[in-house]
Amino acid sequence: MWVLANDFAAGSSLWDLDLSRNKSLRTLKLRALSVNLDDPPDTTSSFLKHILSTITSSAFSEIIAIYEDHHFRGVEPWSKWPHLREMSRAERKKEALFYRSHFKLFREAQKVRSFGLVLCASTSGFVGEYPVQVLEEAVAEEGAKRGFGDFLFEPSVMYDPQRTCLG
Amino acid sequence: MIIAYLIYDSYSLRACTLTCYSWYIAAVPHLHHTFAIIFVPWCLNLWPLYFLRSMHVLGLLPLFKDLRIHVEEHLYHGLSAERFDRSILRYFLALTNVRNLRLDYLDIPSFMARVQQYFGHFFPTVESLTLKTPKGSYRQIVYFIGLFQHLEDLELICDPAGPRQDQPGDLTLVPPFTPPLRGWLKVQCFTEVELLKVMIGLFGGIQFRGVDLSAVQEVQLLLDACAKTLETLILRPIEARGKQRHLGCGF
């Protein structure tokens, strides 16, 4: 069943969210980050800045960006069981660009409120640790190029594999 | 140690069980972690019965921690007590260690008279409950949730179906327990916030530490209800995109 999210969320915009009363908030997790490089990231960036500006919790320290099977070009997510596929050099380059655009987004958001960044590979257990390697390479590459001095702590990578029922 | 490394890779795990008996013993609880009972239109109750019986013969039913029951709503008018005939119920009661329970299109009114008989063995063990489009009034749904005394996580997917107004008899329904509900609240594609308001009222508030809301109205109400306890919030920036239409969630 597929549902148009905007039809449901029409009554209360996420832009009206105010997290100032949530005094214990530690972590913000971001799901469903855009997979399309051509998407203008302005909306996501503005939204993230708006949300961060409403946070007053002193415990707040990190943003976890969740990446799923479809975020990784080397994973065939829509088959019966997600699996790895061969990638060309051009595809690998495009994949690196994808993460670079996300780091840019988070660097922008740092200007509103300082936080640490965690990249989480929440992928099917069938695809093994390939997604973790991709994220670690992205972090290492970004660190070598620009450093992470503006982040609260150096970005880390975590692995949260999803169990699949064989049926 | 090797088995622990492979618990999310069911194919490799299945191969491990053929290595030797000790590997089989180590792998089998992970391999038989999740059980899906699916009522399909073309063979009525025979398909679930076949699987339940074969698992029962192998003594595997008590191993399952994650149980999902799915029924084609448009064919059966939901998951009603009619689906559980005596033969299915016999094996169903052997699922004694279920921690995560997902029920699709649950017709709660049909179970109300003998809910203990059908679901009583789940009440002490279930910690995570998912209800997709449950049928019944708000109070009946909240009453059902309140039967699980150790419930920590709650997931609601899509609006309740069927009669939405509380019936006169429902006003006396009071959940037997106030579950702890200190884990995750996940709500997807939900506009009937009244159900959540009734739940907050009957349980005297909610204390979830994590909230994951997707395409939900009155998000602020839920965040304020968990103001003191909320530690982790999941957001989908894609939902903040003005008038751009997009696919929000898929099942």
Q: What is the mean pLDDT of chain A?
A: 80
Q: What are phi and psi of B207, to 5 degrees?
A: -130, 40
Q: What are phi and psi of B9, to 5 degrees?
A: -110, 90
Write out the two tokens for B33: 């972690």
Reported as a single tens digit per residue, the pLDDT across B61-117 is 999 999 999 887 666 678 888 888 888 888 889 999 999 999 999 999 999 888 999
| A residues 122..161 contacting B (CB < 8 A) | 124-126, 128, 161
Please report the pLDDT score of residue A6 as a whole number. Answer: 39
**Is B123 found in the same domain as B179?**
yes
Reported as a single tens digit per residue, the pLDDT across A92-133 is 777 777 888 888 889 989 999 999 999 998 888 777 778 888
- ipTM rounded to 2 decimals: 0.83
Reported as a single tens digit per residue, the pLDDT across B135-149 is 888 899 999 999 999
* Residue B245 located in a structural domain: no
Please tell me which residue of chain B has the smallest CA distance to A28: B233
**Is B201 found in the same domain as B78?**
yes
**Is B58 found in the same domain as B1?**
no
In sequence order, what are the residues at sequence separation of 6 or more whose Cβ sits closer than 8 angstroms to the Cβ of residue A51?
Answer: A17, A19, A28, B235
Reported as a single tens digit per residue, the pLDDT across B148-201 is 999 999 999 987 776 667 777 777 888 888 999 999 999 988 777 888 889 999
Owning domain of residue B11: 1-31
| A residues 99..118 contacting B (CB < 8 A) | none
Band (B246; pLDDT cuts 50, 70, 90): very low
Please report the pLDDT score of residue B140 as a whole number. Answer: 92
* Residue B248 located in a structural domain: no
Sketch the domain layout of chain A as residue ranges.
Answer: 25-159
In percent, the amount of chain A with pLDDT more than 70 equals 80
**Is B43 found in the same domain as B27?**
no
Residue B241 at interface with chain A, using a CB cutoff of 8 Å: yes
Q: Which of B241, B205, B237, B236 is nearest to B222 (CA)?
A: B205
Please report the pLDDT score of residue B43 as a whole number. Answer: 63
Residue B191 at interface with chain A, using a CB cutoff of 8 Å: yes
Give B214 or A27, the one with higher predicted confidence.
A27
**Is B9 found in the same domain as B82?**
no
**Is B56 found in the same domain as B4?**
no
CB contact under 8 A, A51 and B235: yes
Please report the pLDDT score of residue A81 as a whole number. Answer: 66
**Is B23 found in the same domain as B74?**
no
Number of domains in chain B: 2
Is residue B33 pLDDT above 60, yes or no? yes
